[in-house]
């Protein structure tokens, strides 16, 4: 059974750093694209970026380029999303998602990680 | 790379049919047959209901169907049921080699 298990909710202060994770199981982690999707409170889904764990090929949506870093450690089947300096506007639910047929569709999602940034 | 355009909300009565449009450009919707649709209920992970424009994953009701014409894709839900209420998002592969979502449509079954 394919599963994506995300790390737990985080409460951080502006300016702090953060790294959240997404551990895949039940499939060959290296051979499927993993993406990160943001949902701000009351707003829609947004692609932040995607990574192919097999060779770490990483692509960012223009709005997120330079704002976050996406990485993966295929040895432990885990993808990461990190911030070096959080802002209040980073408060959101973050989902990881596994692509099928490249990244043309998403059949498997993590349960979501709620990140709250507040002073 | 802008979000695909969806109506903010649609509504229908039980048993009726509704259609949600998703308009993009020749760099996304119009350029690829890789449009997918997701149903999203608050507090849950999104659920794939249509992929590759008009294909249903196993287990998804045949009341859901998809189509595309030019730069606009559409999701039709027939025989509306109360459980269909929720948010619906289209998604397309793009020439930037990264997908893009639509802005989302809130479906109300009245």
Residue with tokens 């993590």, as numbered in its chain: A110
Distance, in Å, from the CA atom of A98 to the CA atom of A77, rounded to the nearest integer, reads: 12
B-chain residue closest to A94, CA distance: B45
Torsion of Cα atoms, A24 then B46 then B103 then A87, to 10°: -50
> Which one of B87, B93, B96 has the shortest CB-CB distance to A104?
B93
C-alpha neighbours within 13 Å on the C-beta side of residue B85 = 10
Which positions in chain A touch B48 (Cβ < 8 Å)?
Answer: 105-107
Distance CA A25, CA A79 (A): 12
Rg (CA), chain B: 13
Task: Please check whether residue B67 is in contact with residue B54, taking contact to mean a CB–CB distance below 8 angstroms.
Answer: yes
Per-residue model confidence as pLDDT tens digits over A52-65:
999 999 999 999 99
Q: What are phi and psi of A3, to 5 degrees?
A: -140, 145
Sheet of B72-77: strand order equals B18-23, B72-77, B64-69
Cα A95 to Cα A97: distance, rounded to the nearest angstrom = 6
Q: How confident is the model at residue A6 (pLDDT cuts 50, 70, 90)?
A: very high
At A112 the pLDDT is 97
Q: Which residue has the higher pLDDT, B88 or B2?
A: B88
pLDDT at B2: 85
pLDDT in tens, B37-86: 999 998 899 999 999 999 999 999 999 999 999 999 999 999 999 999 99
- Whether the predicted pLDDT of B1 surpasses 80: no
Q: Is A62 on the interface with B (CB under 8 A)?
A: yes
By the 8 A CB rule, do A5 and A95 touch?
A: no
Smallest CA–CA distance, residue B79 to chain A, in Å, is 25
Residue A14 DSSP one-character state: T
C-alpha A108/C-alpha A100 separation (Å) is: 9
Q: What is the mean pLDDT of residues A75-91?
A: 98
């Amino acid at each position: 059974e394919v599963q994506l298990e995300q790390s737990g909710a985080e409460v951080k202060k502006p300016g702090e750093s953060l790294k959240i994770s997404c551990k895949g199981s039940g499939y060959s982690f290296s051979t499927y694209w993993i993406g990160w999707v943001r949902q701000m409170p009351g707003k829609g889904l947004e692609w932040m970026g995607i990574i192919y764990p097999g060779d770490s090929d990483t692509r960012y949506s223009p709005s997120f380029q330079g704002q976050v870093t996406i990485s993966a450690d295929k040895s432990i089947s885990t993808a990461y999303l990190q911030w070096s300096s959080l802002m209040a506007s980073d408060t959101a639910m973050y989902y990881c998602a596994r692509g099928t047929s490249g990244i043309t569709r998403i059949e498997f999602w993590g349960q979501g990680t709620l990140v709250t940034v507040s002073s | 790379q802008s979000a695909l355009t969806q109506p903010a909300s649609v509504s229908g009565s039980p048993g009726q049919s509704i259609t949600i449009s998703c308009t993009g450009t020749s760099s996304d919707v119009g350029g690829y047959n890789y449009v997918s649709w997701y149903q999203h209920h608050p507090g849950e992970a999104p659920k794939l209901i249509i992929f590759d424009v008009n294909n249903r994953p196993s287990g998804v009701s045949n009341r859901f169907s998809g189509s595309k014409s030019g730069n606009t894709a559409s999701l039709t839900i027939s025989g509306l049921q109360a459980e269909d209420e929720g948010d619906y998002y289209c998604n397309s592969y793009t020439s930037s080699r990264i997908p893009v979502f639509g802005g989302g449509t809130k479906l109300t079954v009245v």
